[in-house]
Amino acid sequence: MSRPNDPSRPDLYTRITDQIVARLEAGVRPWSQPWAASGSVSRPLRHDGAPYQGINVVLLWGEAAARGFQSSTWMTFRQALALDAHVRKGEKGSTVVYADQKVRTDDDDTGCGCAFYAPGPDFVQMPVFESFRDPEAYYATLGHELTHWTRHPSRLDRDFGRRRHGDVGYAREELVAELGAAFLCADLGLALEPREDHAAYLASWLEVLRDDKRFIFSAAAHAQRALAWLQGLQTE
110-162 pLDDT tens trace: 334 788 898 889 999 888 888 788 888 889 889 999 999 999 999 999 999 88
In angstroms, the CA 177 to CA 144 distance is 5
Instruction: Judge whether 47 and 208 are in contact, CB under 8 Å.
Output: no
Bigger pLDDT: 41 vs 142: 142
Biggest alpha carbon distance in the chain?
A: 60
What pLDDT score does 102 carry? 34
Q: How far is Cα 132 from Cα 107, in angstroms, rounded to an integer?
A: 19
Region 180-200 average pLDDT = 78
**Cα angle 198, 203, 207; round to 5:** 130
CB 57 within 8 A of CB 43: yes
Q: Is a pLDDT exceeding 60 seen at residue 51?
A: yes
Sign of the torsion angle spanned by Cα atoms 127, 132, 136, 137: negative
Task: Name the nearest CA neighbour of 127 among 140, 111, 116.
Answer: 116
| Radius of gyration of the CA atoms of the chain, in A | 18
Q: Give the lowest-confidence range in 101-115, 124-138, 165-179.
A: 101-115
Give the angle subtended at the CA of 129 by the CAs of 138 and 166, to the nearest 5°: 50
pLDDT at position 214: 93
